[in-house]
Amino acid sequence: MTRETRDHAPATAGDSAITVDPWHALRRFTAARIALGRTGSSLPTAPLLAFNLSHAQARDAVHTPLDTALLRRELDKRALDSVEVCSAAENREQYLRRPDLGRMLDVQSAACLVPYAGSGTARTDLVFVIADGLSANAAALHAIPLIDRTIAQLRGWRIGPVVVATQARVAIGDPIGALLNADMVAVLIGERPGLSSPASLGVYLTYRPATGRSDAERNCISNVRPEGLSYDVAAFKLVHLLEAARTMKLTGVGLKDESVWCGDVLPAADDSLDSPA
């Protein structure tokens, strides 16, 4: 029996000590922990153990390091240039305690980006940043499949090198985009893990990135994962925002996501190159 099946299974005649919640039938519609039943004044053992497992998985997601070498090998298979950078946070403990350092590049990383910078008419249209954030597993699993599907829909765009950033927060895309002279930066970052989603990816799009941009100047697509917002739908939304931002020359609160997904077939991505699960 899978964990999902076990967690959602109703109490049986052998579970005489468990009081079944009358809303139990609604559990099939959500991954949220509702209608768990009770044993006396406590939770039954199965949902309690499932909660502890999910809590451990969420903690592991925060502390698991990003395998940057594997990501860069996958990007190389796609003939996509890549460069690895670090934030100013020296280690994971400092990253968690000092969010401000996760928004800045360290000196060596900033210097590494200079040779990749476009200029004048050769400005880069778009730079993807794959960042570990608070769930490296999310970045490892979902970033490249999303990039595959997004690039497949972009025609005539100058795509810069994919930047792989560790100990990174969302705003690290601002100095990266500025140094690369990019018109837009899309930061694909592991979101804060939840008890039912330890590997969820967020996408943050910023027009004319520069240090000091506020979150109000970004657009966000969240919960990208097979169990949430699928790669195809996320790519569809991202391309819509990219095209609209290019036309309106802005992102953030002034740019609304008015895309309507109708289940149309998107340009095929090479699934054989997707990151291994």
Instruction: Using alpha carbons, list the distances in angstroms from residue 153 to 88, 149, 259, 277.
Output: 34, 7, 15, 24
Q: What is residue 266's three-state secondary structure?
A: coil
E strand intervals along the chain: 82-86, 124-131, 162-166, 182-190, 201-207, 218-224
93 is in an annotated binding site: no
Q: Which residues contact 166 (CB under 8 A, 6 or more apart)?
A: 65, 66, 68, 84, 85, 86, 87, 131, 132
Q: Which of 165, 143, 139, 135 is nearest to 59 (CA)?
A: 135
Instruction: Say which amino acid occupies 188.
Output: L
Tally of CA atoms within 13 A in the half-sphere of 237 that contains its CB: 23
84 is in an annotated binding site: no
Which value, in Å, is the radius of gyration of the alpha carbons in the chain? 21
262 is in an annotated binding site: no
Name the binding residues.
170, 191, 220
Name the binding residues for adenosylcob(III)alamin.
170, 191, 220
